[in-house]
């Protein structure tokens, strides 16, 4: 009788240990499956992403995107894309990102790069228009949001890094970077035909800046009121 009682106790302990082990296996397998799903099915191809890890073997291919006419000018522009491939967890990951822009004059066929290298990540570019009286719209300036460095130290250039605001002519000339260390853009507004308002956040503070586009200079920068809880 005593031996049977001891056997039942041991059997119950073994059952509990088996149950705990089974649950641990289920949790581990579930987590592994979740990571594989995240990596393979959701993150295999990523846009606007540049890998800058120094200890990762990366192969890159470069290509020119489609050309867009800049209204009211003789110029067309096209993005330059890099496609990186590198090992990530269980598979090879591919990324695509805009790294520069090429400008071509449709009349004399001359061309030029926006910047002399391809080290940055361009998140977007936007045309600023001018509407002279009695004439069609003309693109006068181009505005860019560009990531120049891995500010959050995650080995990537992405939209999560701080960005810089740049302006150029529609010819790709006179590219100037005017506002840096921007965490988030809150909005843009043309105050008049020559002055652009930019609303942005750096750290915990929000700002408004006014840029004189022809002169490529910031005329006003003001901190916006803090949000009172």
Q: What is the pLDDT of residue 86?
A: 67
Domain boundaries, the chain: 1-42, 45-223
123-162 confidence digits (pLDDT tens): 999 998 766 555 668 899 999 999 999 999 998 899 999 9
For residue 10, the 8-state DSSP code is H
Top pLDDT among 48 and 141 is at: 141
In order, the DSSP letters of 134-188 are: TS--EEEEEEEEEE-S-TT-SSEESTTS-EEEEEE-TTS-S-EEEEEEESEEEEE
CA distance 169 to 159: 24
Q: Which of these ranges, 27-31, 74-78, 163-167, has the smallest mean pLDDT?
A: 27-31
Alpha helices in the chain (DSSP H): 2-36
CA-nearest of 51, 62, 156, 139 to 102 is 62
171-219 confidence digits (pLDDT tens): 999 999 999 999 999 999 999 889 999 999 999 999 999 999 999 999 9
Rg (CA), the chain: 27
What is the average pLDDT across 35-62? 65
Q: Taking 90 as the threshold, does the pLDDT of residue 118 lie above it?
A: yes
Cβ-contact 129, 194 below 8 angstroms: no
Q: What is the pLDDT of residue 186?
A: 97
Cβ-contact 187, 195 below 8 angstroms: no
Q: What is the pLDDT of residue 43?
A: 44
CA distance 144 to 68: 16
Top pLDDT among 11 and 204 is at: 204
């Amino acid at each position: 009788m005593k031996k049977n009682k001891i056997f039942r106790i041991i059997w119950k302990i073994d059952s509990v240990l088996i149950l705990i082990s089974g649950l641990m296996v289920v949790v581990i397998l579930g987590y592994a499956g979740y990571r594989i799903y995240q990596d393979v099915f959701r993150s295999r191809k990523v846009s606007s992403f540049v890998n800058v890890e120094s200890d990762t073997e990366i192969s890159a291919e470069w290509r020119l995107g489609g050309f867009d006419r800049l209204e009211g000018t003789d110029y067309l522009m096209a993005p330059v894309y890099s496609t990186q491939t590198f090992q990530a967890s269980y598979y090879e990951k591919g990324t695509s990102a805009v790294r520069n822009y090429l400008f071509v004059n449709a009349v004399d066929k001359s061309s030029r790069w926006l910047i002399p290298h391809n080290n940055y990540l361009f998140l977007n570019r936007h045309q600023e228009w001018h509407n002279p009286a009695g004439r069609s719209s003309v693109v006068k300036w181009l505005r860019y949001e560009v990531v120049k460095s891995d500010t959050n130290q995650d080995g990537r250039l992405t939209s999560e890094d701080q960005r810089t605001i740049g302006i150029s002519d529609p010819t790709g000339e006179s590219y100037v970077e005017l506002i840096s260390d921007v965490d988030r853009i809150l909005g843009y507004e043309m105050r008049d035909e020559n002055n652009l308002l930019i609303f942005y956040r750096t750290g915990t503070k929000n700002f408004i800046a006014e840029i004189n586009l022809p002169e490529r200079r910031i005329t006003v920068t003001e901190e916006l009121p803090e949000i009172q809880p």
